[in-house]
Structure 1
Amino acid sequence: MNEPVDHPVNWLAASTRPYAKNAYLIVFLMVFLCGVVTCLALYHEEKQHILADERIAGEQFVTQLKDALNSYGKEIVSLSVMLQAIDEPLTYQVFKRASEQYESTEKNASLRLFFSQYVPAYHRNDYLEQQRSLVGQSGFTITPAGERAEYLPLTFGYPFLSHPGFDTLSDEAVNLAGLKRLRTQKSLEMSPPLSSTVDGKVQSLDKFALRYPVYLPLDNLNGRITDERGFYGVVGVVFDVSGLKAQLATQSERNFSYRLAEVTHDPQHPVWFADSSQHDNIHPNHEIYWRPGTYHSQVVHFAGCNWRVDTRYSATLISMVNWGLILSAFIVFSVLAVLLSAYVRMLSNAYNQTLRLAKDQIEVDELTGLFSRYKIQRELDEAIEDCQQKNFKLATFFLDLDCFKTINDAFGHETGDKLLIKVAQRLKSVFPDEAIIGRLGGDEFLVLLALREHEKSIYLEGLCREVILQISQSYFIDGRTLNIGCSIGVALHPNYGLNAETLVKNADMAMYEAKTAGRGTYYFYDEEMGARLSRNVRIETRLRQALQEDVLQLYFQPKVDLKTQKCVGLEALLRWDDSELGRVSPAEFIPVAEQTGIILTLGEWVIERACKHIVEWREEGVQVPPVAVNCSAAQLKRPNFLSHILSLLDKYKVDPSMLEIEVTESMLIEDAESCAELLRQVSQLGMKLAIDDFGTGYSSLSYLKDLPFDYVKIDQVFIHDIMEDNDHDVLTRAIINLSHELNLKVIAEGITRPDQLERLKGYGCDVGQGYLFSEALGANSMASDPMIMALCEQSRSASHQDKD
């Protein structure tokens, strides 16, 4: 055995040497760049934080604006309700008293309340006469002049009224369409910005009128004039922007600016009416201060109008950044870069030593001293290339220790590690010197051995046997004597693998076959194994699909009383015809189902389908005997096995006596204690129990004595040769006699010839099953089967006799 030799990792050293020489400069640059990146990140974070604060301040401002407008609207609605509650024609004194309670007049001294009364044409003169007497102005009239069907003049105002008598329904009125919409929809309506005039000159667009209709009940007018729907007039408030801004007190440490525009009719051309960054009320187009990207914009919807609100901090972004934090980070990283580069330079002398230590850890397994997983895989690649050049074969051995986990769990990982060391030593001693040995991890080892022309496969078989023999010898560790075995899988290059990955995979599969065969043995990978494993994978895939598509079928083979020749039971047999694989035998797909866990779903499907067929036969009037189903070890180990059967019996209303459970001896061997308790519970429900394939396993008489079995089924292997093989004949007779002594009935499987039947009847066998009586029948064939027909006829005869 060759010890691991020193192969310096020259490619690693050569590739890193120029960089190691200037490593301190690289470190300095990297740390310095990290400092620059950190400073940029801090600046970005500061920027995002400022922008977030600016956005929040803008949202708070918009909330305040909405609250102020909503307060106007609520109080106008309240004033309208108050005017509706008055039972007499409205006078100025009444309107004044109601207006004095308007809360917002305390917050905004510039507010003016007004009332426009509805006046139909026929009531115009009465209205004018009434107003002239109430107001005391003999010249009061409705303007502009002209005959109209109806009028809505400004009637009362508080604290004063501008343009008394102005008809808001005239063509000269502002927002006439909004007023008409207000009258029909009974909702708040706000006008576009209105201009202020001083000495007849337009000063600014700084006023708004918020209006709400007043409707009176038609059955309680008391002399008041309304239209046909009860429209009495419009109550409203006129407020200016300066009064509104007094209520928008922003609380921000930084200077905050905003501007407002009306965008209801043309969002692309806003009408600006407020700008806090200017002293003038009408804001000019300041392209620099309010350039795109420097502010946050929102739209406020209120009373049929849309206001655009732009907000921003007055100071520039650069002036608000915390430069002290950013510069501190830059200084810290610069100092750190200098210190680290100096430290790296001090460590440069230890670089080569560290590299050598890293190489040893990569290539040598620290525990056993064998090649590591990394190294053995590199050696395998090189060995394949060398064998291809020399036309040699390469044997790849995959070794796995048997039951190593048990020793680890029982005595601890320290004992397990010491055992692995001793196993590695024995591997070195038993394999030839030219063999390459490595540890893949855990308790798995990989051995490579090139075969010369004169060395045949028989040499490898002898080597495998010798390895298993040596590994299986006792080990004395920490005062304990430990025993362990191993399983070996072998794959040959180039026959069964042209590359390292394929060789290791095939050797691993061969080792798994050795484990399956009982451990402590070896197995050579061949084409048959590959084809079998490939077919098993295909069977697994198609079987899962068959369960989903419900293409499996249950057939039923009669069990016949050998004395009366009557059918006394049925055994459910699974049949599978696949569109791709053809007919697949249960002997082939059941083991695959057990290995992959599909057997659980498959077993539940069989029991439920058997219950469904029993119900269908009962509905068709077909009398059938109890149906026996086979249960796997995996099914019986499930804690919900019994509850699942009970739920199916309850779901399909099937009597428990109509089901029989067959279990194999292997289940009893694996977990006899828990299995016994489960079988007792099943028996207490009224289901018959049978031990299947008795005599083919590690048959124990205690199973028959201690467990509540009703039947013993003799495997068809004995029945097939009962006439030709004296040993099978003697064993069959002994099983029948023993079972009868224990009050158990015996079922013989696989009866195909009359002479077999006569021999079994002579031995006193109770029940027979096989092609001599009947093949397995489909579920739809029960009504036409002679045995089932005879059973039904017998049942009907017994029923008639009971009635008589």
Structure 2
Amino acid sequence: MNEPVNHRDSWLVASTRRHVKHAYLIVFSIVFFCGITTCLALYHEEKQHILSDEQIAGDEFVALLKDALENYGKEVTSFSVMMQSTNEALTYDIFQRASKQYESTEKNQSLRVYFAKYVPHDHLNAYLKQQRRLMGQMDFNITPRGERKGYLPLTYGYPFSSNSGFDLLAPSYVNHQVIQRIRSTKSLIMSQIMLIASDSESAKQDKFVLRRSIYLPLDNLKGRVTDELGFYGVIGVIFDVKGLKQQLESHNERGFSYRISDVSDDPEHPVWFADSSKGRDFDPNHEIYWSKGVYNTHVIDFAGRSWRVDTRYSSSFPNLVNWGLIIVAFVIFSLLAVLLSWYVKLLANAYNQALRLASDQIEIDELTGLFSRYKIQTELNTLIRRCRLKDQKLASFFMDLDYFKTINDAFGHETGDKLLIKVAQRLRSVLPDEAVIGRLGGDEFLVLLVLREHEKNTYLEGLCREVILQVSQSYFIDGRTLNIGCSIGVALYPDYGLDAETLVKNADMAMYEAKTAGRATYYFYDAQMGARLSRNVRIETRLRQALQDDVLELQFQPKVDLNTQKCVGLEALLRWEDSELGWVSPAEFVPVAEQTGIILLLGEWVFEQACKHIVVWREEGIQVPPIAVNCSAAQLKRPNFLAHLLGLLDKYKIDPSLLELEVTESILIEDAESCAELLRQVSQLGMKLAIDDFGTGYSSLSYLKDLPFHYVKIDQVFIRDIMEDPDHDALTRAIINLSHDLNLKVIAEGITRTDQLERLKSYGCDIGQGYLFSAALGASSMVNDPMIVALREQQEDDGTLEN
């Protein structure tokens, strides 16, 4: 066999060596890059951690500020509640004693409290007399003067009273609307921050006022004057921002800055009144220090005002980062990059030496000496390019050994390997010298052959037949004579594949068709195969839908005793008519179900439907004979097959003798040992077993001798030609005689003519099945079927059921 030289492979090997030679640089770059990435990740993590801590610290600071303001509000509220609860007219002594209770705390060191009493117009003179007497000022009056419905003059103040007698309800008062809101809402109201002047500029202090209205119960005034709703006056408490800041500073962590502004009136132009960063050493430029993006902003709503609070760490971000951790990581990765690159360089040298030794071996399959999977694929690409240039055809043979797995499992992998070696030798001997042969793996081979102009499909067919003939000859290995077969799929370039992947895939599908057709044969990929595959996909989809919609039907065909002509059993047959595909033959959809795994669901459905029908017929008074159900290989291989079967029998309360199982020889070939044990357990339950399609597969008399079968079912292919084909006639007679010698009954299926029936009766066949007796019946048709009617009449006569 001539082996084409592939220059592309040599180039790939040389390219690989160059890359390996410089692998240490690649490793150094990768590890160093990982180090940089890790350092950046650590930096990012540090940044997120610092930002998170800064946010948390800001949230805690804002919560502290909220608590301080809430405490202010509680004090004002308690002040007003105390004044409301006084059962006598408010005098200056009472007011003074109440005010002194709040000046002892740190935040109230410069406390100012005032009370503005509501004076209706008709009580104005009485109020003026009272105040003039109290203050000793005979010229005391309410200002600004004027006739009004009611007045709210500053009446008492502590520690001293300023602007005594000033009417807060006067329209000219700047906070007139605020006072009206306090009076109407009965809630706590805060003023905007105000600057109270003193003798020195440095003594100016920011203040804020908390006001609250006082209402008295109308049924308990006790001489006190209110308006028609009980409004008695307004209590106001003036607090220093300095005292508020002292509370915040005492709880604030070192290295944390804040600033506070009032944004109630104009959020775009805040009024700043507290800034912890001013005057500190780390504040060279206040505007830059509070530049946008370096701080967190919070808004507090309290007593009708909105305060904006900006918070940040005092130090800049780079000063807060733990650079030691990042530098250590960078140093570690740098050292690791150097060490690994040095080690990889040593490995690369060793690899190049090994590569030179293995380069000649990688293209050859170590076991068979054929081209390896890699080499055969590169050869296929090369041949496709050559055929494209020279306008030639290329045949791709996909070969798979039949029953190799059985031999491999039975005698071990060592025997299997020796068998593969001998198969490879036979392929070399039978294929032409110009053929390229490769092993894809397992028991799969790929053969490539460029066709000459005069070589047509007939030449390829003859070559396939010769290969199958030679491969199928017996092999003598380790004192054993082994027999296998060979299935071949062929795809031609450029007719059914323009690239390597498509060509091999189509050849593989053609090989599978050969397997399906009975093995030990060949199949050429054609356009119709694609259509069949498309239909199979459609069948799979519709079959799954049919299971969901429960549109499948189970029919029953009688089995007849050939001597008495009486029904002795039924075979459950699955039928399917689809709304889109029409009537689909079991011969078409069952193989698709087996390939896709749907057969498991179908098998469970058939078993359960058979049990349901037995129950329904029993309730209708119809005692049917045993029903035979076909079992697929996939069903028997399931570990829970027997448990599921027992569950159905228990669920529907069915005697096991009313069910029979039919299994094919192929099941026993694939997994004889485990299937044999399962069949023995099923037989012990009382179910009868039949071996189906006997004589069409890899028949073995040991199945009949060693396994608990009750029936042998002759495939209809023999019965169909029993009168015309002497070989089929002889085989049928031999199967019947052999089965009787082993005390097994024989069932012949597919009987359609009377002469077939007579021939089978002459051979002693026990049971028959086919259109000559009855077609498959729907469940509802069983009542009127003559055989079932006759069977029921017999049961009524003697109460027995002939088996």
> TM-score, with normalisation over the residues of structure 2?
0.71
Seen in structure 2, the aligned counterparts of structure 1 residues 253 and 449 have a Cα distance that, compared at 3 Å, is farther
Corresponding residue for residue 802 of structure 1: none
AA aligned opposite 2:490: A
Corresponding residue for residue 291 of structure 2: 291
Corresponding residue for residue 243 of structure 1: 243
Seen in structure 2, the aligned counterparts of structure 1 residues 101 and 474 have a Cα distance that, compared at 3 Å, is farther
Aligned length: 776
Corresponding residue for residue 800 of structure 2: none
Seen in structure 2, the aligned counterparts of structure 1 residues 141 and 529 have a Cα distance that, compared at 3 Å, is same
Instruction: Decide whether the 8 Å contact of 2:423 with 2:471 is kept in 1.
Output: no
Instruction: Decide whether the 8 Å contact of 2:28 with 2:337 is kept in 1.
Output: yes
Q: CA deviation at 1:661?
A: 5.8
Corresponding residue for residue 598 of structure 2: 598
Counterpart of 1:462 (choices 461, 466, 469) is 466
Residues in 2 aligned to 1:12 and 1:290: alpha-carbon distance in whole angstroms: 62
Seen in structure 2, the aligned counterparts of structure 1 residues 78 and 600 have a Cα distance that, compared at 3 Å, is farther
Residues in 2 aligned to 1:541 and 1:633: alpha-carbon distance in whole angstroms: 22
Instruction: Decide whether the 8 Å contact of 2:211 with 2:234 is kept in 1.
Output: yes
Q: CA deviation at 1:198?
A: 3.4
Instruction: Decide whether the 8 Å contact of 1:665 with 1:694 is kept in 2.
Output: yes
Does residue 491 (structure 1) correspond to residue 490 (structure 2)? The answer is: yes
Give the alignment of 1:296-695 within 5 angstroms: 296-317=296-317, 356=356, 363=363, 371-388=371-388, 393-399=393-399, 434-441=434-441, 444-452=444-452, 456-457=459-460, 458-467=462-471, 469=473, 472-474=475-477, 487=486, 489-494=488-493, 496-513=496-513, 521=520, 523-527=522-526, 531-548=531-548, 550-555=550-555, 573-606=573-606, 632-635=632-635, 637-638=637-638, 660=659, 662-666=661-665, 671-678=675-682, 691=690, 693=692
Residues in 2 aligned to 1:134 and 1:747: alpha-carbon distance in whole angstroms: 131
Q: CA deviation at 1:593?
A: 0.6
Instruction: Decide whether the 8 Å contact of 2:546 with 2:552 is kept in 1.
Output: yes
State the Cα RMSD in Å: 6.3
Seen in structure 2, the aligned counterparts of structure 1 residues 660 and 11 have a Cα distance that, compared at 3 Å, is closer
**SS of residue in 1 equivalent to 2:301:** strand
Q: CA deviation at 1:644?
A: 6.1
Deviates more, 1:321-330 or 1:460-469: 321-330
Seen in structure 2, the aligned counterparts of structure 1 residues 731 and 294 have a Cα distance that, compared at 3 Å, is same
Deviates more, 1:203-212 or 1:26-35: 26-35
Q: CA deviation at 1:540?
A: 1.8
**SS of residue in 1 equivalent to 2:258:** strand
Seen in structure 2, the aligned counterparts of structure 1 residues 43 and 153 have a Cα distance that, compared at 3 Å, is same
**SS of residue in 2 equivalent to 1:249:** helix
Instruction: Decide whether the 8 Å contact of 1:399 with 1:488 is kept in 2.
Output: yes
Residues in 2 aligned to 1:136 and 1:794: alpha-carbon distance in whole angstroms: 134
Instruction: Decide whether the 8 Å contact of 1:118 with 1:152 is kept in 2.
Output: yes
Seen in structure 2, the aligned counterparts of structure 1 residues 345 and 546 have a Cα distance that, compared at 3 Å, is closer
**SS of residue in 2 equivalent to 1:61:** helix
Residues in 1 aligned to 2:101 and 2:411: alpha-carbon distance in whole angstroms: 93
Residues in 2 aligned to 1:93 and 1:559: alpha-carbon distance in whole angstroms: 121
Unaligned runs of 5+ in 1: 799-804
Seen in structure 2, the aligned counterparts of structure 1 residues 647 and 483 have a Cα distance that, compared at 3 Å, is closer
Deviates more, 1:335-344 or 1:639-648: 335-344
**SS of residue in 1 equivalent to 2:575:** strand
Residues in 1 aligned to 2:477 and 2:76: alpha-carbon distance in whole angstroms: 103
**SS of residue in 1 equivalent to 2:197:** strand
Deviates more, 1:242-251 or 1:393-402: 393-402
Encode CA deviations 1:225-245: one digit per residue, 9 max, x unaligned. Answer: 666666665555432322222
Corresponding residue for residue 801 of structure 2: none
Seen in structure 2, the aligned counterparts of structure 1 residues 397 and 645 have a Cα distance that, compared at 3 Å, is closer
Residues in 2 aligned to 1:751 and 1:125: alpha-carbon distance in whole angstroms: 132
Residues in 1 aligned to 2:554 and 2:332: alpha-carbon distance in whole angstroms: 79
Seen in structure 2, the aligned counterparts of structure 1 residues 755 and 396 have a Cα distance that, compared at 3 Å, is closer
Residues in 2 aligned to 1:424 and 1:175: alpha-carbon distance in whole angstroms: 108
Residues in 2 aligned to 1:609 and 1:369: alpha-carbon distance in whole angstroms: 55
Residues in 1 aligned to 2:8 and 2:141: alpha-carbon distance in whole angstroms: 114
Residues in 1 aligned to 2:153 and 2:761: alpha-carbon distance in whole angstroms: 123
**SS of residue in 2 equivalent to 1:260:** strand
> TM-score, with normalisation over the residues of structure 1?
0.71
Residues in 2 aligned to 1:755 and 1:363: alpha-carbon distance in whole angstroms: 63
User: % of aligned pairs identical?
Assistant: 62
Q: CA deviation at 1:506?
A: 2.7
Seen in structure 2, the aligned counterparts of structure 1 residues 77 and 17 have a Cα distance that, compared at 3 Å, is same
Seen in structure 2, the aligned counterparts of structure 1 residues 400 and 107 have a Cα distance that, compared at 3 Å, is farther
Seen in structure 2, the aligned counterparts of structure 1 residues 122 and 574 have a Cα distance that, compared at 3 Å, is farther
AA aligned opposite 2:311: T
Seen in structure 2, the aligned counterparts of structure 1 residues 545 and 140 have a Cα distance that, compared at 3 Å, is farther
Deviates more, 1:660-669 or 1:58-67: 660-669
Residues in 1 aligned to 2:118 and 2:762: alpha-carbon distance in whole angstroms: 122
Seen in structure 2, the aligned counterparts of structure 1 residues 406 and 359 have a Cα distance that, compared at 3 Å, is same
Instruction: Decide whether the 8 Å contact of 1:540 with 1:593 is kept in 2.
Output: yes
Instruction: Decide whether the 8 Å contact of 2:628 with 2:662 is kept in 1.
Output: no
Encode CA deviations 1:61-84: one digit per residue, 9 max, x unaligned. Answer: 323323322333444455555556
Encode CA deviations 1:615-670: one digit per residue, 9 max, x unaligned. Answer: 99999x8979688765545445545567767888999x897799856543556785
Instruction: Decide whether the 8 Å contact of 2:196 with 2:205 is kept in 1.
Output: yes
Seen in structure 2, the aligned counterparts of structure 1 residues 692 and 296 have a Cα distance that, compared at 3 Å, is same
Corresponding residue for residue 72 of structure 1: 72
Corresponding residue for residue 257 of structure 1: 257
Q: CA deviation at 1:756?
A: 7.4
Encode CA deviations 1:264-306: one digit per residue, 9 max, x unaligned. Answer: 34333333333333359xx9x9654433333332322333432
**SS of residue in 1 equivalent to 2:266:** coil
Encode CA deviations 1:470-516: one digit per residue, 9 max, x unaligned. Answer: 9x55269xxxx997967553424335434311222133334445666
**SS of residue in 2 equivalent to 1:248:** helix
Residues in 1 aligned to 2:103 and 2:443: alpha-carbon distance in whole angstroms: 88
Instruction: Decide whether the 8 Å contact of 2:694 with 2:713 is kept in 1.
Output: no
Give the alignment of 1:140-159 within 5 angstroms: 144-149=144-149
Seen in structure 2, the aligned counterparts of structure 1 residues 718 and 216 have a Cα distance that, compared at 3 Å, is farther
Q: CA deviation at 1:377?
A: 1.7
Seen in structure 2, the aligned counterparts of structure 1 residues 522 and 44 have a Cα distance that, compared at 3 Å, is same
Instruction: Decide whether the 8 Å contact of 2:679 with 2:708 is kept in 1.
Output: no
Q: CA deviation at 1:224?
A: 5.7
Seen in structure 2, the aligned counterparts of structure 1 residues 775 and 6 have a Cα distance that, compared at 3 Å, is closer
Corresponding residue for residue 269 of structure 1: 269
Q: CA deviation at 1:727?
A: 5.9
**SS of residue in 2 equivalent to 1:312:** strand
Corresponding residue for residue 278 of structure 2: 278
Encode CA deviations 1:42-70: one digit per residue, 9 max, x unaligned. Answer: 76666655555544443333233233223
Corresponding residue for residue 206 of structure 1: 206
Q: CA deviation at 1:543?
A: 2.1
Q: CA deviation at 1:110?
A: 3.8
Q: CA deviation at 1:383?
A: 1.8
